[in-house]
Structure 1
Amino acid sequence: MADLPEDITALKAALAASERRADLAEIERDEALADAANAKAKASGIEALVAHLTLRIEKLKRELYGTRSERTARLLDQLEMQLEDAEAALSEDELAAEHAAVKTTTVASFERRRRGGRKPFPEHLPRERVVVPGPSACSCCGSDRLRKLGEDVTETLEVIPRRWKVIQTVREKFTCRDCERISQAPAPFHPTPRGFLGPNLLAMILFDKFGQHQPLNRQSERYAREGIELSLSTLADQVGACAHVLQPLHDLIAAHVLAAERLHGDDTTVPILAKGKTVTGRIWTYVRDDRPFDGQGPPAALYYASPDRTAEQPQEHLAGWTGILQADAYSGYGRLYAEDRSPRPLIQALCWSHAKRKFFELADIAKNARRGKNAASISPMALEAVKRIDALFAIEREANGLHAAERLAIRRERSLPLLADFENWMRTERARLSRHADVAKAMDYMLTKWDAFARFTTDGRICLSNNAAERALRGIALGRRSWTFAGSKRGADRCAFMLTMIATAKLNDVDPQAWLADVLARIADMPQSRLPELLPWNWAAAPHQDQAVAA
């Protein structure tokens, strides 16, 4: 206190100087915070750019070289999640930098470079004009003599929460004055017998349950929050009724699939509730996809459910069918290839992706790096096998989509020499290995069934992999985590039934929900002879599909 000046003027000057120093310190602090926020936003921008470019490179590789390995598909999913997190972090840091820059006039706000820019909103969306009232007087001179020069329009995408409505179908009654007979228009067909739900609502329920894996109890709870009471039993009753109505269309799809020259077959586990416990059941799929060899038949998928995985299941599914079966080396298919099978044995074509996976697990450098000290040694033989198999897949990607005869010519010219060299190399190396070696087991898997693996060089219709069937089962593998188990064997059968409908629509690039809504609206009063018009590949070309999607 002794150092303070005694007169008031000096005290005021000292106080002002102190306040200026405080203001300067606050300005410096704000500038430092703004600089730090800008630096953080720039770092987030760099991370987002790296994630974006990495994902783009991987997608370009897939487009350039065609369908890639299962590992690459998982990598793309991971990269997309990383990009999502990086973009979200960049938005947070960008807004924080803008907020910090407002407090200072010396630090420019971080400017984010937008990649690609925002695309215009679709033209088919309705536009709602909200006009902001203009000024009534000039802001400069106060004059009210204003004339409209133009307007600036800013578009914002918005969504209207789901709106429910009740459709009242009125049938007027008339009486004849001469004979007093009463006349009335016939009652319209309902999508389901004694039903009271419209086709769009039924299609949404079916697609949410079997396409989006949302159990009916969760749907019922969601509808209740929106003010609509639809009990679980009501929804289940309508699902069963829809399955009954759609049965003729399902039969047509099944007949189309089983008329194929070649099928992809596979199965996956699904828990099924049975007598107070759950058993490990199976969902089987058989996919017809002739596009890789320029076939003219539309793609389609057929699903079955079973409580077990015995050989009787594929025998029952494919009874009477003959052709090429592309599948894994599951022993249950063995009876289908037997010489005494009636009407004749199936042609076995094994999946090279399965074979490659066994070698890849022994040569996965990235996975071993994550294991650290516990990593197993990389097998040079497995790595060499992976490279040789990749060379065959590279040739196959070039031939994909060509006619069967063209594909076969390319394979005989380019793939056959590589295949012969690969077989000789494996047999030579296998003779030097112990039968307990992991790489020897991978080699035995192929060598013991070499004719089935090499069959693609004798028939241009055969694919190198069974990926078509694996893709058809991927949704089930993810969805079963949501619905936990099928409530019964009948429930699993119904699931397979609806998966046939939904997967076939997707294979033909048709929106499953829009297609189901239109089918349910029309199938009740459609003659049996015209049912093929409702099949997804025929429906996709019909002019009414735009109206169904809009509805």
Structure 2
Amino acid sequence: MHAAPRKSHRGAVFLCAPNGAFVGELYNFAIMDSKPLPNDLDACHQLIAKLQSQVGQQATELSLKDKLIEEQAHSVLELKADHDKLDEKVIELNLKLEKLLKQLYGRKSERRVDGEGQLFLNLGEEPTPEVISALEEAIREAEQIVDDAEEAKKKRRKKRPEQSDRKFPEHLPRYERVVDLPKDQREGLTLIGYDEVETLECTAAELKVRVTKYAKYAYVADKTKGIVSPERPTGLVEGDRFDASIGVEVVAWKYFYHLPFYRQQDLFAGSGWTPSRSTLQNIEAAVEFALRPLAEYLRDVLKQDRTVGCDDTGVLLITPKAMPDLSVHPRRERIGEVLENAIRLGKPSIKANMWGYYASRLPLVAFDFTVSRHRDGPDDVLGDFEGNLIGDCWSGFQKINVRSDSRIIFAACWAHARRKIDECRSAFPVQVAKLESLIRMLYEVEDQIKDLDDAERLARRQSLSRHVLDLIAEYLDSEAMQSPSVLPKSNLGVAAGYVRRHWQALCRFTEDATIPIDNNDCEQLMKRVATGRKNWMFKGSVAAGERAANLLTMIGSAIRNDLDVRAYLDDVLRRTLGGETNWSAMTPQAWKAEHPESIREYRADERRQAADRKRTRRARRRLLNKSTGRR
């Protein structure tokens, strides 16, 4: 088969096979015209062979160019994919930066404030009669709350004394100092009385040394019987060198006032005694050793409650130079594993954990120290607990019902869910405003039913709260929360996924009246650890961490009962050193009933006033919603 050249209409010559199939373009027609074609067959064959060689070479070059273009296109796609990933990373980092800046410089309070784009709650097109009745009742209640608040405000203004007329408590000791005119200015004047001005003074704490003399008697007739002396009581430390009051001061200053030992040295030095830090540490250890059985008893009593909240925070633990003796420690396996790994890797410290437990109904709290954030901690403390556990959706909590054979039921915290949604406000203002309006309604219901008995509270939750929860679920599945409006990997998409995944646990408060809607009480409890951590900074050993947990258990429970912490610790410490083991009589709630003079009434008043202000704010908001025609 021979190929013959054919002139194209574009002015170029193509090489074609006899059947008309295209072989290749030869060269420009103008070039063909400038040089005549050969007449003999051999010359034609040579020309065709030459042209075929050129065509093959051009085809090879075209193939290389196509391959190069394909590689470049692939590189462009890879660069585009890398660029998209970098864009996602930049967005993620910007969100993290915004979150960190908010944590550093933003509002610390989580109280919701109406902002731009904030929506009022709409309870659906056809709310049930129970919901309508509850709304009408809420409006009537709101009007009454606002009226009572205004009346109370007027009464407080009338009763408020002038600054000069305020008196200090009568039980404070007083002494008088008379300021008179000079004698030469009193001539011809008659004294008609005095203007009294009360000025409060403060002096440094007074330290006294008690010298106790124990009588010694000897048998004169029979010296072999030895010396007879009165029985000596058990002291806080060997030799009874420090009274219980010193131990109470050291412990209260550290875990109630959050003063580390080096600051306590300055306070004691101001009173004339400068102890070493090791002495203060030994005193703390002695107090904890005496009160440890009471702290363990408080933990056991706390677990008698139906619902317990749990939260945790990190504490720095100094890595020991050598493994301590853990042969009798109940958690020796886990502690040994963590410490051995830290020693092997040469870590100077590890992040241990302090856990807080908050009883829903009983006025008790408890703390526990672990060397890591491992589920062994809650599993160990709650090993004999039967009831509800409320907390964040940490993986260790989620499966606790499986590990406990349904003895413990996990309930999720709505404050955590709301916090995740609120972090998306800048990027999704409309969706966040709608979701927060619905969540706010859940809290409105809780505010209305908090004074009801368990049966009525549960009934309201199952009617009102369930209705609002259905609206939240409906909105999460609506078009406004789906792609492309909200991408699954966006911050709001992740927050919505969090709510969807833990929906059953978030709704559990509607199944038991003892379950609170959130775990805020326990989270606030952990502030004591966070504040102390900024002062004493770290724990030097596992034993020191466990001592802190026991002392925080007692101090935290006393605070929850509004007790004078020092008076409570002083009394129970002296009773414990005296050999008393009736722990039920030394619980804060029992001690409170016997010592009303040591109750800090102003703390209860502060909480009551804060609750009244919150109820008034919510009542005004309900009335505002009514005036704007919103439900």
Tell me what 1:404 maps to: 454
The amino acid of 1:357's aligned partner reads: R
Letter in 1 for 2:210: I
Contact 2:397 2:410 in 1 (8 A): no
Change (3 A) 1:256 1:445: same
Asked if 1:154 is matched to 2:218, the reply is no
Aligned to 2:76: none
Aligned to 2:434: 384
Change (3 A) 1:179 1:539: farther
**Residue pairs, 1:132-147, within 5 angstroms:** 132-133=179-180, 136=183, 139=186, 142-143=187-188
| 1:504 aligned residue | 557
CA distance in 1, matches of 2:470, 2:228: 81
Return the alpha-carbon distance in structure 2 between the equivalents of residues 476 and 344 of structure 1: 31
Equivalents in 2 of 1:458, 1:321: separation in Å? 19
Is 1:283–1:496's contact at 8 Å kept on the other side of the alignment? yes
Q: Partners in 1 of 2:108 and 2:508 — Cα distance?
A: 23
The structure 2 residue matched to 1:122, chosen from 151, 169, 184, is 169
Mapping for residues 62-461 of structure 1, pairs under 5 Å: 71-72=109-110, 117-118=162-163, 119-133=166-180, 136=183, 139=186, 142-143=187-188, 148-173=191-216, 184-275=229-320, 277-290=348-361, 298-338=362-402, 341-342=403-404, 344-363=406-425, 376-429=426-479, 430-432=481-483, 433-461=486-514
Task: Note the residue ranges of structure 2 that are not aligned, 5 or more in a row.
Answer: 1-106, 114-159, 321-346, 601-631
**Cα distance in 1, alignment partners of residues 367 and 354 from structure 2:** 7
User: Relative to structure 2, which stretch is displaced further, 478-487 or 122-131?
Assistant: 478-487
In structure 1, what residue type is equivalent to 2:487? Answer: S
RMSD: 2.9
The answer to whether the Cα contact below 8 Å between 2:316 and 2:537 also exists between their aligned partners in 1 is yes
Of residues 226-235 and 281-290 in structure 1, the stretch that sits farther from structure 2 once superposed is 226-235
CA distance in 2, matches of 1:169, 1:544: 32
CA distance in 2, matches of 1:396, 1:361: 24
Flag the 1:442–1:342 CA change in 2: closer, same or farther, 3 A.
Answer: closer
Match of 1:24 in 2: none
**Cα separation, 1, equivalents of 2:524 and 2:298:** 19
The 8 Å contact of residues 313 and 354 in structure 2, kept in 1 or not, is answered as: yes
| Partner Cα distance (1:257, 1:521) in 2 | 24
Deviations 1:490-522 (A, max 9, x none): 222211111111101101111212211122222
Q: Which moved more, 1:518-527 or 1:230-239?
A: 518-527
The CA distance in 2 between the partners of 1:186 and 1:378, in whole Å, is 75
1:493: which partner in 2? 546
- Cα distance change of structure 1 residues 194 and 427 upon mapping to structure 2, 3 Å threshold: farther
| 2:418–2:439 Cα contact (<8 Å) kept | yes
| Whole-angstrom distance in 1 between the partners of 2:317 and 2:591 | 34
Q: Distance in 1 between matches of 2:465 and 2:404?
A: 34
Bigger shift: residues 190-199 or 277-286: 190-199
Write the letter of the residue equivalent to 1:447.
R
Distance 1:543 1:177 in 2: 49
Q: TM-score, normalised by structure 2?
A: 0.61
**For the residues of structure 2 that align with 1:345 and 1:543, how far apart are their CA atoms?**
38
Q: 1:300 to 1:184 in 2, by over 3 A?
A: same
Q: Identity percentage over the alignment?
A: 28
Instruction: Write out per-residue CA displacement over residues 452-507 of structure 1, whole angstroms, 9 at most, x where no aligned residue.
Output: 11111121111100011101101222221222221122222211111111101101
Deviation string, structure 1 residues 300-356 (Cα, Å, up to 9, x no partner) = 111111121122222222112221000110001233121xx3454411110000000
Give the match's secondary structure for 1:71.
coil
Partners of 2:560 and 2:360 in 1: CA distance: 9
- SS at the partner of 1:158? coil
> Does the 8 Å CA contact 1:322/1:343 hold for their aligned counterparts?
no
Of 536, 542, 545 in structure 1, the residue corresponding to residue 588 of structure 2 is 536
Q: 1:133 to 1:189 in 2, by over 3 A?
A: farther
Larger Rg, first or second structure (1 or 2)? 2
* TM-aligned CA deviation for residue 211 of structure 1: 2.0
SS in 1 for 2:594: coil
Residues 167 and 198, structure 2, Cα contact 8 Å, conserved in 1: no
Query: Aligned partners of 2:172 and 2:239: how far apart in 1?
Result: 35
CA gap 1:323/1:472 in 2 versus in 1, 3 angstroms = same
- SS of alignment partner, residue 541 of structure 1: helix
Name the CA shift for 1:73/1:134 in 2 (closer, same or farther; >3 Å).
farther
AA partner of residue 535 (structure 1): T
Segments of structure 1 that go 5 or more residues without pairing to the other structure are 1-68, 76-114, 291-297, 364-375
SS at match of 1:249: helix
Letter matched to residue 510 of structure 2: T
The structure-2 alpha-carbon separation of the partners of 1:355 and 1:157, relative to structure 1 and needing over 3 Å to count, comes to same
1:173, CA displacement in angstroms?
4.4
Distance 1:440 1:215, change over 3 A: same
Once the 2 structures are TM-superposed, how far is the Cα of residue 403 of structure 1 from its aligned partner? 2.2
Q: What residue identity is the alignment partner of 2:366? A: L
Cα distance in 2 for partners of 1:467, 1:204 equals 30
**How far does residue 287 in structure 1 lie from its aligned partner after superposition?**
0.9
Instruction: State the secondary structure of the residue aligned to 1:164.
Output: coil
Aligned to 1:483: 536
Name the SS of the counterpart of 1:540 in structure 2.
helix
What TM-score comes out, normalization by structure 1 length? Answer: 0.70
